[in-house]
């Protein structure tokens, strides 16, 4: 495979294939609610050591945004 062919394979697509549309709104404190275009909802905030680190003991235990990212990637 020549260098030119390799560059063509790694080139970005000429057109956008997918655009994610969602809204994220603050519920209260650090709690947020995301709504995807299809109506699927996700509520996230803080839990465990993160709450302790930042003195957020009064906040409800909710998944962190990164918890959703990891679950989606592994899932």
In this prediction the pTM is 0.69
| Sheet of strand 41-44, all strands in order from the earlier edge strand to the far edge | 22-28, 31-36, 41-44
CA atoms within 13 A on the CB side of 35: 5
By three-state DSSP, how is residue 60 classified?
Answer: coil
pLDDT at residue 14 is higher than 90: no
What confidence score (pLDDT) does residue 41 get?
96
Q: What is the mean pLDDT of residues 33-44?
A: 96
**Alpha-carbon distance 46 to 68, whole Å?**
12
Choose between 4 and 52: higher pLDDT: 52
Q: What is the mean pLDDT of residues 17-37?
A: 94
42 Cβ contact list (under 8 Å, min separation 6):
33, 34, 36, 68
Q: What is the pLDDT of residues 50-68, one digit of tens each?
A: 999 999 999 999 999 999 9
């Amino acid at each position: 495979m020549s260098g030119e062919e390799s560059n063509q394979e790694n080139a970005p697509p000429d057109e956008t294939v997918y655009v994610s549309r969602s809204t994220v709104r603050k519920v209260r404190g650090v709690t947020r609610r995301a709504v995807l275009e299809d109506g699927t909802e996700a509520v996230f905030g803080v839990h465990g050591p993160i709450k302790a680190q930042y003195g957020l003991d009064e906040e409800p235990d909710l998944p962190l945004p990164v918890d959703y990212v990891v679950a989606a990637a592994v899932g």
